[in-house]
Amino acid sequence: MEIRFTLNGKPTAVDVPPDITLLRLLRDYLDMTGTKCGCEIGECGACSVILDGEVVNSCLVLAPQVEGRRVVTIEGIRGPDGGPNDLQEAFIEAGAIQCGFCTPGMVVAATVLLRKHGYPTREQIIEGISGNLCRCTGYQQIVEAIQMTVLRRGGLPEKEEHA
């Protein structure tokens, strides 16, 4: 069946079987492999994308469910010059990437978190990425990268915020 939706700001139409997931649509039919295929049962968050402004596991969305809706993938998250944006630069700087498999999902989840909370607290950051598993970093550097972005976007360090 043909599915029409907005993908990373562009109107998109793709002909796929009705019983595949959004994850498979992206990777196998549109060759957009930035969205990673991890557990495929909604546990790991590697396949996270933004559906109408909310972070979701693309492995749990049936492809036809995105008909008429807006999807943003990691390919749609970048700086004005097309390179990494400040959040992605912070991930590199903080050493928040080892094997890199969880990174697209982490950046997607963090992008929604930063949009929703503006200047999230450490607690909100930890909750915001709680649906994304990382088996390398122990999360510390990932939380630091997001905190770094908060600071650079004009947020205050948490202690001063509460003073």
Partner 1 sequence: MSIKHFDYVRASSCAEAVALLSDPTHISRPLAGGTDLMVLRHKGEVQWDRLVDISQVPEMRTIVQQGEAIVVGAAVTHAEIVEHPLIQRYLPLLADACHSIGSPQIRNRGTIGGNVANAAACADTLPALVCLDAVARIVTKDGEMAVPVKDVVVGPNRTSLPAASVIRDFVIPIPPAQARMAFFKIGRRQVQSISRLSLACLGWLDADGRVAEVRIVPGACTPQTQRFDQAEAVMLGQVPTEELVRKAGQAGAVQMIAITGRRWSTPYKELALPALIERALRKVFGLPEVR
The reply on whether position 128 binds partner 1 by CB under 8 A is yes
What are the CA-CA distances from residue 68 to residues 3, 4, 38, 90, 132 (Å)?
Answer: 8, 6, 26, 34, 27
How many Å apart are CA 116 and CA 152, to the nearest integer?
Answer: 17
What are the CA-CA distances from residue 71 to residues 2, 12, 35, 158, 163 (Å)?
Answer: 16, 10, 12, 32, 39
In the complex with partner 1, which residue's Cβ is closer, 43 or 93? 43
Name which position in 25, 61, 72, 114 contacts partner 1 (CB under 8 A). Answer: 61
Asked if residues 145 and 113 have their Cβ atoms less than 8 Å apart, the reply is no
The reply on whether position 118 binds partner 1 by CB under 8 A is no
The reply on whether position 115 binds partner 1 by CB under 8 A is no
Interface segment toward partner 1; rule CB under 8 A; list 56-64, 74-82, 95-103, 149-157: 56-64
The reply on whether position 43 binds partner 1 by CB under 8 A is yes
Name which position in 28, 40, 75, 89 contacts partner 1 (CB under 8 A). Answer: 40
How many Å apart are CA 19 and CA 51, to the nearest integer?
Answer: 19
Q: Would you list the DSSP string of 56-85?
A: EEGGGSBGGGGTT-EEE-GGG---TTSS--
DSSP state of 101: S
Name which position in 10, 11, 13, 18 contacts partner 1 (CB under 8 A). Answer: 18
In the complex with partner 1, which residue's Cβ is closer, 96 or 110? 110
Which helix (DSSP H) or strand (DSSP E) does residue 97 occupy? none
Interface segment toward partner 1; rule CB under 8 A; list 16-24, 75-83, 136-144, 145-153: 16-24
Contact residues for partner 1 (CB under 8 A)? 1, 17-19, 21, 40-43, 45, 48, 51, 54-57, 59-62, 64-65, 67, 109, 112, 127-128, 130-132
